[in-house]
Structure 1
Amino acid sequence: MAKVERKSVKRRSAEPRTKPVAELATGGEVVRMRKSIQSVETGVRILDALMQTPLGRAPLREIAAAARMSRSQAHRYLLAYINTGVVNQEPQSGLYSLGPMALKIGLSAVSRLDVVQQSANELRNLVDTVGCTGLLSIWGDHGPTVVRWIDGRRPMVTSLNIGSVLPLQNSSAGTIFLAFQAPPKVLQLLESERATGHGDSRRELNRKIKTTRKDGYATVSGDVIPGLAAISVPVFDMAGWPVAVIGVLGSAADKAFLSQRNIDAALDAAQRASTAIGWQPSTGAAIFAEPDADYVDALAPKPAPRG
């Protein structure tokens, strides 16, 4: 046994030393490229294959095929992951699934996500692109609440500011939450707002919500503050629920403000923010799987305004 150990030591010492970091010349600059550990990159393919399994668990043959490697190679990686708690193997079925260590890693990453910061970064980029004032709203105790405000090239004089609560029915941010938020979260506030006699008829509100779900954005012109128009788009979490609304403000008299160019720029910004916090386009909006999505017909009729 001692001889075997000496030979193995000798073989290791005979192996070439780590090659220097590769260098790549680009545009007159020399960029140093990090040398990675290929086995780690290969192992990540195993974990990715497990994450993509429809039931969250799979046999060896399916994992190996999805990871594009032989079963024997995939088995060696899986054994290492089982030993470290990254993967579990069910004793009866032999199926593999992600283990407790994988859960800890995922939760640790999620805990570091800052929805407001990610959305605010994209909002700033959007303001730079379209030149208009931008605001970021989240769902608060009293409805859509402005938490970020970024002046455009021409600052706007308005009563809106950080901390303002926007109406559900007459603001573009409110329409986004009505269209995509879980119904139990919006119903009480919506009923309270309608009880005052403000807002749309059930027919008009239903039409507005369906249009917003179809288009993926909402616009208003002069509905909240005379002379102001707005474009709002949702930021989704990994489950497909809206966690923030990115919006831009412009003059209702400016016909170019509600252009498709500005709308597309806002949609792109919201998609980047959503992706940064874990949402995927394949997830879509969770409201479409919600049994109570068509909740407007159950609302009490809006009372007639008091004369």
Structure 2
Amino acid sequence: MGKLGIPKSKGDEISSVDISESGNQRKSIQSVEIGARVLLALLKADPGGAFLRDVASSSGLSRSQAHRYLLAFVNTGMVEQNASSGRYSLGTLAVRLGLAAMARLDPVRIATGYLEGLLDELKTTGLLSVWGDYGPTVIRLIDGGVPLFTSMHVGSTLPLQGSSTGTLFLTYCPPAQTRDRVERERAEGIVVDDGELAEQIESVRKLGYARTYGSVVPGLAAVSVPIFDSQNRLVATMSVLARSQDKAYFSKAKIGRILQQARQASEAIGWPGPA
């Protein structure tokens, strides 16, 4: 069975019993879970804060219940109330907790974990890239079960023009960051027409991913997806590789799963979602 609510004698203090995977029962305090819903309502509110009625509606409580939780949070510094408007917003303690959590985040470690899970599920090879001194740089190359033979390795630099990873950086990074690298590539003989680049960038903005078939490494196809941080900045890209002759590998369902995993990785890093 799932979660069973066991009421106590009175008030909002209700114990929850959770059946863990091992079969053990883990008790929790339902009032704390309800309090989290109140805080989540404030997190979703406008910058100016939320009125009591809005907090109650969003958290699924009566106004009197919501008011008791808000008062407790005000007393602890988690919430503050504007004296003139009456609106509630997150307080200084909430800010301190958020900053402490952010300081402990390791985007590369988090993104690697999500990529490993995805590749294990899809039984293929993939890579994680970040922006380095010479452009998009591979920092993880992971074999998810069926190895693909490739000349790429950790430390390899991918071109901005022509690679699915590079297209993501062209799409989501400021031109001042990528311009010099594009010019250097063109001086080295890698030239993609500006019009074609613009079409690729527009496609990424529409679809949320980039794909290539053998344009970087002969025989390999790739689908690459962006990883964003709390400031909506591109911090890494995840790429899933396949043999380019296997045209049916990147089905709509697989691409949807790749996008979902990238979104979850971004949210774990602190991404607030699309603007």
TM-score range, shorter chain: 0.7 to 0.9
1:118 has 2:110 as partner: yes
Partner of 1:31: 24
**Structure 1 residues 70-119: Cα deviation after superposition (integer angstroms, max 9, x where no partner):** 43433333232222211122233332211110001111222222221222
Secondary structure at the counterpart of residue 159 of structure 1? coil
Equivalences for residues 1-307 of structure 1 within 5 A: 30-34=23-27, 36-280=28-272, 283-284=273-274
Residue identity in the other structure for 1:33:
R
Residue identity in the other structure for 1:48:
L
**Structure 1 residues 246-276: Cα deviation after superposition (integer angstroms, max 9, x where no partner):** 1122322333344434433322321222232
TM-superposed CA distance for 1:208, in Å, is 1.0
Q: Is the 8 A contact 1:182 1:241 kept in 2?
A: no
The structure with more radius of gyration: 1
| Higher mean displacement: 165-174 or 143-152 | 143-152
| Higher mean displacement: 75-84 or 114-123 | 75-84
Taking a change above 3 Å as real, the CA distance of residues 41 and 226 of structure 1, as seen in their structure-2 partners, is closer
Taking a change above 3 Å as real, the CA distance of residues 206 and 105 of structure 1, as seen in their structure-2 partners, is same
TM-superposed CA distance for 1:22, in Å, is 5.5
Q: Is the 8 A contact 1:21 1:32 kept in 2?
A: no
TM-superposed CA distance for 1:240, in Å, is 3.1
Taking a change above 3 Å as real, the CA distance of residues 191 and 91 of structure 1, as seen in their structure-2 partners, is farther
How high is the TM-score relative to the length of structure 1? 0.75
Taking a change above 3 Å as real, the CA distance of residues 226 and 31 of structure 1, as seen in their structure-2 partners, is same
Higher relative contact order (CA 8 A, sep 6+): 1
Q: Is the 8 A contact 2:116 2:144 kept in 1?
A: no
Length, aligned pairs only: 265
* Counterparts of 2:54 and 2:153, CA distance in 1: 54
Secondary structure at the counterpart of residue 136 of structure 1? strand
Taking a change above 3 Å as real, the CA distance of residues 170 and 33 of structure 1, as seen in their structure-2 partners, is same
* Counterparts of 1:190 and 1:87, CA distance in 2: 48
Structure 1 residue ranges without an equivalent (≥5) = 1-13, 287-307
TM-superposed CA distance for 1:160, in Å, is 1.2
Residue identity in the other structure for 2:265:
A
* Counterparts of 1:184 and 1:217, CA distance in 2: 22
Residue identity in the other structure for 2:58:
A
CA RMSD of aligned residues (A): 3.0
TM-superposed CA distance for 1:152, in Å, is 4.3
TM-superposed CA distance for 1:197, in Å, is 4.6
* Counterparts of 2:82 and 2:139, CA distance in 1: 47
Secondary structure at the counterpart of residue 206 of structure 2? helix
